[in-house]
Amino acid sequence: MTGNCGGRRFSMVLIHVVAIGVFLLTAAALAHAQGPNSVNGPSSILDEYKGLQNGWITKLLGAAQRLFFLLAGIEVAWSFTLLAIEKADFQALTAAIVRKIMWIGIFYAILLYGVTPGGGGWIAARDFDKEEEVFDLRHHFSVPVSLDVNRLVYRLTLAGPGRPALERELDIPLLRYEQKTKLTFPIKGKFMVVLGHDFNEPHSLGRSQHFAYDIFGMGPHWELTRNSGATNADFYTWGREVIAPADGEVVYSRNDVPDQPRPGTVDRSIYMNMPNPGYANPGNHVLLNHYSNEYSSLGHMQHGSVRVRTGDRVKRGDVVGLAGSAGDSELPHLHYQLTDGEHLFLVDGLPSRFENVSLDLLGNPIKIATPKRGVPLEAH
C-alpha cells in the first residue's frame, strides 16, 4: 500500500514538473519570438544609434529571458524532487507550486520592466534632469594646475553591419567660468564633501547637478557619527543649520517631504505618492536667486525645518533650514549646487568657489576655494 501511494505521489510530482516545464518553455519561446520591428535607413546619427541600441538591448533582453526561464525550470524541478524525496502530500505540493509561480512572476516582471529598450524603466523615471544625448563622454577636468587647452574636438564614426559608416565632428570651445557671486559655504564648522564637484563623479549624470556637492557635517574630532550611526540623529550632519550662501530671493521652497526613517536605506514610497513627486526627490528644498544668473540650490533638509517661503529675501548667513535626510537620501547630508537658471532640474550646473573654507589639520589654515571630496575641511 505504501509503495502504491509513493508511486502515485511521484507520478503526481512528475506531472507537475512537466506541466510547469511546458509553461516555462512556451513563455521562453514567446519571448524569443518577440523582436524589434524593421528599421528604415536612418537620416541622422541619432536615428542610426538608437536603431542599433534597440537591437542590442532586445537581443540581450531575449538572451536574459531565456536564461531566466532555464534557471527557473531547474529551480522548480529541483524543489519538487526534494519534496518527492521528503514524501510531501498533495496540499504541500500545490502550495509549493503557487509560491514558485509567484516568485518567478515577480522576478520576471523585474527583468522585463526594470530595463526597457530606449531608456525606459523604473531607474530612468528618476532621471528628472537627464539630457537627450546619445553618447555621454566625460573627462577628468579636476587637475591641480590650469591646462593650456581651449577646445575639444570629437570625431565620431558609427558603423553597423551592412550599413555605410556615419561620421560626425563636434568642436567644443572650452571656457573658464568666472563666478559672479561671492559665496559662503552653506554650513559652518567642520565638514567633508563625500561626493562632489568633480565632473566625472555620479552627480554629473544629471544636467543640473554638474559640480554639485553632498556635504557631511563632522564632529569635534572629525568623526561623521556618534555611537554607531544607527539613527539619523547619530550623524553630526543631522540638524546642522543650513545658511544662505549669499544675498538672494527665494524662488522655490518645499517643507513637507518626510525624512528617511533609517540611515542606509531609501524608501521612495514615502514621497513618490506626494503631490509633485519629482520635486520631492530632492527633499525639503530651497532655491535662491542671487540676481546674476546664479542660483543656489539646497536640498534634503529636515521635514518641517525650512524657515523661508517663495518670495522671501534673505541675507548671506541667514538660516534657511536644518540639514536632514528627506527625499532620495540614503544618509543625512546637505546637497548643494550652483546653477544658471530658475529651475531645479532643467538648468546647467556651474562650478562654485567659496570665501570661508580652509584646511586646518596642518597647523596654519590653508584657504581652499573649491572643496574636494574626502578632505576634512572647516567653514569659518
Strand 241-243, strand 248-254: pairing? unpaired
3-state secondary structure of 194: strand
Calpha distance 272→126 (Å, rounded): 10
Q: Three-class SS of residue 186? A: coil
Q: What is the pLDDT of residues 39-85, one digit of tens each?
A: 333 445 555 555 555 555 566 666 777 777 777 777 777 777 776 77
Average pLDDT value for residue range 312-326: 98
pLDDT of residue 142: 54
pLDDT at res. 78: 74
Structure confidence at residue 307 (pLDDT): 98
In the chain the domains, ranked by start, together with CATH numbers, are 2-126 (no CATH), 189-379 (2.70.70.10)
Strand partners, 214: 195, 335
* Helix, strand, coil abundance in the chain, percent, nearest 5: 30, 25, 45
pLDDT tens digits for range 334-354: 999 999 999 888 899 999 999
Average pLDDT in the chain: 78
Q: Where does the pLDDT of residue 313 fall: very low under 50, low under 70, confident under 90, or very high at 90 and above?
A: very high
In Å, how far are 19, 146, 236 from 321, measured between CA atoms?
61, 37, 15
pLDDT digits (tens, 9 = 90+) for 187-196: 999 999 998 8
Q: Which residue type is seen at 368?
A: I
Q: What's the pLDDT band for 19 if we cut at 50, 70, 90?
A: low
Mean of pLDDT values over 244-251: 98
Does the pLDDT value for residue 115 go beyond 50?
no
pTM strictly above 0.75: no
Lowest mean pLDDT among 145-154, 165-174, 324-333, 355-364: 145-154
- Comparing C-alpha atoms, which of 115, 123, 128, 130 is closest to residue 277? 128
pLDDT tens digit string along 28-46?
Answer: 444 444 443 333 334 455 5
Q: What is the mean pLDDT of residues 301-318?
A: 98
